Amino acid sequence: MVKIGHIEIEGVPLLLAPMEDVTDPPFRYVCKMFGADIMYTEFISSEGLIRDAAKSVKKLDFEEFERPVGIQIFGHNIDSMVKAAQYAEEAGPDIIDINFGCSVKKVVSKGAGAGILNDIPKMVKMTEAIVKSVKTPVTVKTRLGYDDRHKQIVEIAERLQDTGIKALSIHGRTRTTKYSEPADWTLIGEVKNNPRMHIPIFGNGDITDAVTAKKLLEKYGVDGLMIGRATYGNPWIFKEIKHYLETGELLEKPDVTERIRVIKIQLEKSVDRKGEKRGIIEMRKHWGNYFKGFPNFKQFKLELMSVETKDAVLDILEKIEEFYKEK
């Protein structure tokens, strides 16, 4: 059992990583259906929250079904981050998560996200201030360091733990490491096996399937796994990993009928939450992922990218199912 404050998770926790424009409530819903243990909102700007910016405030929304759920915030100003954490706490999440890992240039250039890895004392001071300002368990997501010359995560982890955070998720890359380079889990393992560490350590980076998940768990001994890009169009990955860890057997990949069943659930949630046109437009980023590897899908994708009504989407999905069931 893994504990994060008052939260208790049986077995090996599998966390859905917070991803901008991906992990909205409809997508989180289908990931939860297939066994994601902890969900996170898309990351939310502290400045946006305290200014009551509509887009930022909207990201505070979650359903009871998603629990335990964390709200993730980012920013460069300590006072603003403290106020944002308090604001987020009013929404009633189970966790407040601090983003010290985003590598996007416009975030980093302001000293937020992974940019704060250039100023470890400020990173620690900010974390400590947030922990003291809220009653909700605080966790952190970060990287190995800013660049290859400054992989300070072992020291950083100790210092963050001393502030009172309840868990730490580590992405196995630095801010400057490209995604074309493999994630380095060696230092994640060092953090986990550091005798000074007593909070849960979650590993993140290149968890692509159930076999890889098991290998990483066995080799590095982390308490759980945070999964990001491999969930795109693939909420089944949580079920597949859990089944493999429990039985050693690999589940068959979902067929076209199952994929469409789940797509329809996500589509319905998206339309209900955002309205028909917006809900369908925001589903567009998912089509290629749900049907990745399907031969001759290009024409269907072009059709899905051009329609703006739910009925039109459903008609195309019916055609897709008929086409691939005949193969």
Q: 134 and 9: one domain?
A: yes
Q: Give the burial string for 96-128 (b: 16+ CB within 10 Å, else e).
A: bbbbbbbbeeebbeebbbbbbbeebeebbebbb
Q: Tell me the sheet residues that pair with 171.
A: 143, 204
Instruction: For residue 129, give the CATH number of its domain.
Output: 3.20.20.70
Q: 269 and 232: one domain?
A: no
Strands 201-204 and 167-171: parallel
Kindly report, residue by residue over 285-312, the tens digit of the pLDDT.
999 999 999 999 999 999 999 999 999 9
Residue 61 has pLDDT above 70, yes or no: yes
Domain count for the chain = 2
Q: Tell me the sheet residues that pair with 204.
A: 171, 226
Q: Which of 225, 174, 168, 224 has its CA nearest to residue 196?
A: 168
d(CA 174, CA 156): 13
Q: Which of 19, 70, 78, 10 has its CA nearest to residue 43?
A: 19
- Read off φ and ψ for residue 44, nearest 5 degrees: -120, 130
Q: 25 and 94: one domain?
A: yes
Determine the structural domain holding residue 6 and report its residue range.
2-247
Residue 59: which pLDDT band, with cuts at 50, 70 and 90? confident
Q: 237 and 103: one domain?
A: yes
Q: 174 and 276: one domain?
A: no
Q: 269 and 223: one domain?
A: no
Residue that terminates a domain, selected from 230, 247, 264: 247
Instruction: For residue 273, give the CATH number of its domain.
Output: 1.10.1200.80
The segment with the largest mean pLDDT, out of 38-42, 104-108, 181-185, 216-220, is 216-220
Instruction: Give the other-Cβ count within 10 Å of 276's Cβ.
Output: 15
- Read off φ and ψ for residue 139, nearest 5 degrees: -125, 170
- Residue 54 or 137, more confident: 137
Q: 138 and 44: one domain?
A: yes
Cα 179 to chain center, whole Å? 16
Kindly report, residue by residue over 115-172, the tens digit of the pLDDT.
999 999 999 999 999 999 999 999 999 999 999 899 999 999 999 999 999 999 999 9
Q: 313 and 179: one domain?
A: no
Residue 164 exposed, middle or buried by CB count within 10 Å (0-12, 13-18, 19+): middle
Instruction: Give the model's pLDDT for residue 83.
Output: 94
The DSSP code for 20 is T
The DSSP code for 196 is T
Residue found under tokens 């590897």: 293
Q: Which amino acid is at 130?
A: I
Token pair of 25 as six digits: 């409530």
Residue that terminates a domain, selected from 227, 247, 267: 247
Of 5-14, 23-32, 51-60, the range with the lowest mean pLDDT is 51-60
Residue 60: which pLDDT band, with cuts at 50, 70 and 90? confident
Radius of gyration of the chain (CA): 20
Of 46-60, 101-115, 236-250, the range with the lowest mean pLDDT is 46-60
Instruction: Give the model's pLDDT for residue 54.
Output: 61
Sort residue 296 into left (φ over 0), alpha (ψ -120 to 50) or beta: left
Instruction: Give the model's pLDDT for residue 55.
Output: 67
Q: 230 and 277: one domain?
A: no
Residue that terminates a domain, selected from 191, 213, 247: 247
Q: Give the burial string for 134-160 (b: 16+ CB within 10 Å, else e).
A: eebbbbbbbbbbbeeeebbbbebbeeb
> Is the pTM for the entire model greater than 0.75?
yes
Instruction: Give the model's pLDDT for residue 180.
Output: 78
Residues with catalytic function: 102
Cα 167 to chain center, whole Å? 15
Q: 201 and 136: one domain?
A: yes
